[in-house]
């Protein structure tokens, strides 16, 4: 392989015309993105040090063994003579475009408004399915809010999202084989938007098909968005009680279920109906923070054109991570580079 001469490369950059220089700048920017992804992975392995053991034998002794095809460091185990890299045994083990994962994680966590799958496919140069699978893998790797993380004064409220059946095959299967697949209980949403006499209103005027999301936040920047089955006391308590401190102060908009939960669990509760506080409510108690969180959630979901309701919990978790005070795309990238837990050896000697 010929040696790289920096002086000769500088002379080459003075010869092209402006159009060729623009092309060279684009190539250099693309190479910088790929190199940045490789450096992030290598930095994660170097930070692990000797504690990063091999999945095959569990050995701690290793030494350098060249580089991978993408330019990352390759290691060799002194015990089993097996080679590995920073992606071995992780969800990114067989991902060839690590720069795509890093760029997607940055867009999901740090961008003011994340790109849709279709737009991300055009910007990052991949298909919509690859962007979708990468996005769901990153969401699945996000660290959930720890138990008893909501402390002090915290606010809670419900957000509503219309039921989404994207990628559902119920009507397609019914039209292909009506004998084995009965008709779904309702029409598709696009049928309700038709302005003709054949179209009927959705059951329950659309409210019966809405999904609920419980949003909670405190003054320290902790956020929690959990999908709940309904606005009942059992569903709200199951999602709210694990993530709140027992001595926290609960502020709501006067929902009856929250009042019952606060009474049963002996939690200090302040109800602000339509934002109005009573005479015994201190001026520091309000629900403006959670209302702003829900407003941002509705704007955050708009570019995605109604995702499937089965993914509502994942999108709520994603939105809560984006709204944390100390958010970073590394919070989504590092779990993807963590090897799976090794099973315990129950053999007794």
Q: What is the pLDDT of residues 96-109, one digit of tens each?
A: 777 788 888 888 88
pLDDT, position 185 = 76
How far is the C-alpha of 100 from the C-alpha of 36, rounded, in Å?
11
Residue 272, CA distances (Å) to 40, 264, 283 in order: 47, 19, 11
Mean pLDDT of the chain: 76
pLDDT, position 56 = 63
Sheet-wide strand order for 153-162:
223-228, 210-218, 153-162, 249-252, 269-271
Q: Tens digit of pLDDT for each residue in 119-173?
A: 888 888 888 888 888 888 888 888 777 777 888 888 888 888 877 777 778 888 8
Going by the DSSP 8-state scheme, the letter that residue 150 receives in this structure is B
How far is the C-alpha of 67 from the C-alpha of 58, rounded, in Å?
22
pLDDT band with cut points at 50, 70 and 90 for residue 347: very low
pLDDT at 275 over 70: no
pLDDT at 178 over 60: yes
pLDDT at 330 over 80: no
Residue 174, CA distances (Å) to 18, 35, 164, 241 in order: 59, 50, 19, 42
How far is the C-alpha of 110 from the C-alpha of 331, rounded, in Å?
11
pLDDT at 59 over 80: no
Instruction: Give the residue-averaged pLDDT of 286-294.
Output: 87
Residue 25, CA distances (Å) to 21, 74, 121, 321 in order: 6, 30, 22, 34
Proportion of the chain above pLDDT 70, given as a percent: 75
pLDDT band with cut points at 50, 70 and 90 for residue 250: confident
pLDDT at 54 over 70: no
Of the ranges 58-72, 89-103, 190-204, which one carries the lowest mean pLDDT score?
Answer: 190-204
pLDDT, position 345 = 42
């Amino acid at each position: 392989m010929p040696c790289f001469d920096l002086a000769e490369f500088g002379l080459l950059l003075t010869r092209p015309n402006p159009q060729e220089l623009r092309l060279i700048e684009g190539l250099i920017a693309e190479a910088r993105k790929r190199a940045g992804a490789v450096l992030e992975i290598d930095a994660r392995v170097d930070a692990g040090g000797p504690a990063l053991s091999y999945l095959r034998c569990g050995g701690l002794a290793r030494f350098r063994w060249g580089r991978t095809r993408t330019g990352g460091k390759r290691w060799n185990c002194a015990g089993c003579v097996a080679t590995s890299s920073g992606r071995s045994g992780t969800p990114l083990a067989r991902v060839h475009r690590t720069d795509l994962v890093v760029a997607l994680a940055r867009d999901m966590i740090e961008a003011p408004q994340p790109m849709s799958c279709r737009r991300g496919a055009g910007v990052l140069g991949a298909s919509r399915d690859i962007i979708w699978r990468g996005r769901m893998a990153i969401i699945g790797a996000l660290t959930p809010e720890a138990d008893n993380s909501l402390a002090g004064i915290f606010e809670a409220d419900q957000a509503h999202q219309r039921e989404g059946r994207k990628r559902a095959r119920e009507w397609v299967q019914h039209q292909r084989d009506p004998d084995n697949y009965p008709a779904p209980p309702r029409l598709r949403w696009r049928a309700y938007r038709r302005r003709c006499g054949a179209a009927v209103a959705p059951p329950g005027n659309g409210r019966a098909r809405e999904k609920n999301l419980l949003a909670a936040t405190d003054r320290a920047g902790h956020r929690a968005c959990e999908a709940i089955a309904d606005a009942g006391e059992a569903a709200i308590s199951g999602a709210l009680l694990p993530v709140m401190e027992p001595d926290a102060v609960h502020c709501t908009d006067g929902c009856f279920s929250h009042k019952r939960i606060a009474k049963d669990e002996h939690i200090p509760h302040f109800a602000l109906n339509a934002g109005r506080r009573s005479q015994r409510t201190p001026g520091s108690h309000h629900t403006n923070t959670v209302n702003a969180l829900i407003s941002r959630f509705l704007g955050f979901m708009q570019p995605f054109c109604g995702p499937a309701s089965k993914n509502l919990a994942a999108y709520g978790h994603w939105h809560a991570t984006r709204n944390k005070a100390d958010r970073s795309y590394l919070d989504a990238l590092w779990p993807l580079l963590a090897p799976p837990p090794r099973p315990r050896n129950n053999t007794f000697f």
